Structure formats: structure tokens, C-alpha cells
Amino acid sequence: MSKITFIGAGSTVFAKNVLGDCLKTPVLQGFEIAIFDINPERLADSETMLNHIKNTSGSTCVIHAYSDRKEALRGAKYVVNAIQVGGYDPCTITDFEIPKKYGLRQTIADTVGIGGIFRNLRTIPVMLDFAQDINEVCPDALFLNYTNPMAVLTNVMNTYGGVKTVGLCHSVQSCVSELFKHLGMDTAGVKSKIAGINHMAWLLEASKDGVDLYPEIKRRAREKQNEKHHDMVRYEMMLKFGYYITESSEHNAEYHPYFIKRNYPELVDRFNIPLDEYPRRCIEQIGNWKKLKADLVNNTELHHERSHEYASYIFEAIETNVPFKIGGNVMNTGLITNLPREAVVEVSCLVDRNGVTPTFVGDLPPQCAALNRTNINTQLLTIEAAITRKREHIYHAAMLDPHTAAELSIDDIIAMCDDLIEAHGDWLPQYI
């Protein structure tokens, strides 16, 4: 019996999508679906929910909830990771409230920026624990990482964990369809090419029947410049730098030094930037859980339709040798020639029986590569901090972050990092 292990299965809605997809995939019938979470109540909820889907779909998969992580991993062929270390309370609150005291505002804080740095620092040790278990009990497993900060965690698992890891993000899948829908354009027959880094990959080409669609895309985007909408930051970046970015405007507002600025507070309104957006989402999700639990966990007639999540399609392609294309986060083994080789990049990958094979991109447009490198700098210094346990590298990562550096002095950045380290307490290892 082959085995798929899902770590962080207490994320019940996401587990429904990924594992519900597996239950509905013919070639995966008979697999063991192993689920693990540190919260036994949420783990039991997900087990119940998955059994409902199994019953209504007629799946022959075997669902097994584990209280021991190593046993959940033992013998796994595929591992899916969807953990969040520290949760909303206390860690997300800490990530937002302490920087706010220094006048540094954020929107999502899960990728780079000061919030992304500290989310990495508390998550990397846990991921390396996973890697140790995987190398012991399922060394040949393919590890699919859905956890943010995507680029850093995928890098650490490959570089320091010795685990064959691909990072998966929804932003590539939805990029073209959402852009075209908002602009009133038809996606039928559209050919596209996307590459860059996670949350800042670039729609390099969009064409139909050999005709470049970018002039029309930009014309329609300019027409929307004077109206408030959800994607104003990305449109501004496209019109100024030439290419559309995969991840949302609320994310990209904090990846650059141009949009959230104390000395120019009118920019937040002008570009419709939702400050403190992620804490609001967390509160809303917590508040909605009772209803979701009734809909998912207590519904014995629960049905599931296969979603757009990549995981089951990756497993299917490997099992059947029928190729499938994904946008994956992988080590930059010369794939994007004007980005650092030690970075993780997001590129098209072919999946078949050989596994996940990334495609060569070459040079990005120079301005796109330059913007990517501003975020890669912070990513690589964050990894250096986590691996060496040297506090000075936390400072370096923060001082090199574009948004943080644009707002705060060096002394304030260092003081803020010290406050965050102290506030995290046992959520962080000791730094010297």
C-alpha cells in the first residue's frame, strides 16, 4: 500500500481540498491517507470529515490519523506540508503589533518583511525536525510544501534538510484568469509564460494566435487607474516596470518600498491597501469555524469535487506517467540565469514518472530580476540567521528588506528585532 502523509491536517478546509482530491483520483485508490496534527481535536475533525468524503465518493483509500509524527511519515511516498507555527495568537499578533509600535505597518506579513522573517525563524527549526524524520523513515518521499514563507522553507528543506522538496502556491494558477476576468478579456486560447520568485513571479508573455496581448492588457489597466479596485498595486507595478506580478496587491504592497509609507499616508488610500489584512482574516476564520465545522465535520453526506490544487495532479502524473505542467518552487540550478543559484525560483515544471522536472527560463527582464533580488537578499540572510543562530544575521535580513529599510533607521530596525526576539520567547531558538 502506498502512502500519502499530510502534516498540519488540522487545517481542515485545506485538508479537504488536497486530500479530498486524492480520494477522488482513480489512480490513488487503495493508498493510505496518513494525517497528523499537533492539535488532537482538529486532527479528529479532519479524520471525520475525510471519512465522510470517502463514504460518499466510494473511495478505497484508507484514512489513518496519527498522534506520532514519525509513524505518520513512515514509508510515505508523498508528504504534504501545511503547518503554521505559532498561529494567530500569539505569534501573528506579535508579528504585527511590535513593528506597529515603530511605525512599520504590514498587510499579510507571511513572506518577507519583518513578519515574514520571524515566521521563518520560528518555522525553520520545525521543518528541519520533519527533515530528520523523513530521512530516517521515508528518505525517497517527495515533499510538497504549501507553507509560507514559501521560498525560504522550500530552500531550507532542499539545502539543509536533504529532502526532495517542491513548493506550491496558488498565485501562479490564478494569475492569468483573475487578471483577464478583471479586465474583461477572454482567456480562451491564451498562451502564457510565468517565472520569477514566489509571490513575485512575472507574467512574462501573454499572447493569442501569435498576437502579444500586453498592449491591450496595459490599455485596459490604465483605464482603471482612476477607480478604486482590489488590484491597484499590481497594476501600478505593471505599468511602471512592464510586467504583471502573480501574487495579490495586498501582498505586493509590502514587498516594495513604494506603497506603505508614514510620510506619504495618502498612498494607502490611493492604492487601496488593506493594512493589517491578515489579522482580520484570522479573526474572521476563527469566528466562522463553528459554521464550517457543522458544514464539514458534522455533515455525513459531505461531497467533494476535485479542486484546482496541484497535489493530486502531481501524484497522478507520477503514478500514471501522463505528463502534467505545474508552477513549482525549486532550487535555481541555473534555471533563471540572472538570479542567484542559491535562491529558490518559481518556474514551470513538468511532472511525470521521473518526478518534477523544472524548465529553463534564461534571463528575466533586468528590472524584474532586480526587484526579485531585493527580496532574495532578505530570504538568504534569514536562512543564514536560522542556520547559524547568529542574531546579527536577523538584523541583516531586516535591514535589507525593502519596506523595512525604507521606513526605519538602522538603530530602530535592530531595536525592533530585539523586541520581537524577546516577545517570541520559546517560539524561537536561542540566538547569539
- Residues annotated catalytic, as ranges: 170
221 with 269: CB under 8 angstroms? no
| Dist CA 230 CA 235 (whole Å) | 10
| Dist CA 109 CA 100 (whole Å) | 12
* Residue linked to cell 479530498: 20
The closest alpha carbon to 66, from 58, 57, 75, belongs to 75
**Burial class of residue 255, CB neighbours in 10 A (0-12, 13-18, 19+):** buried
CB environment 45-77: b (16+ within 10 A), e (fewer): bbbbbbbbbbeebebebebebbeebbebbbebb
**Helix (H), strand (E) at residue 180:** helix 170-183
Which alpha helices (H) appear in 297-365, and where do they start and end? 310-320
Instruction: Name the 3-class secondary structure at 325.
Output: strand
* DSSP line for 254-303: TTSSSS--TT-THHHHHTT--TTHHHHHHHHHHHHHHHHHHHHTS-TT--
Residues whose CB is less than 8 angstroms from the CB of residue 264 and which lie 6 or more positions away in sequence, other chains included: none
CA distances from 304 to 10, 22, 99 (A): 18, 11, 41
What's CA 209's distance to the chain center, in Å?
A: 33
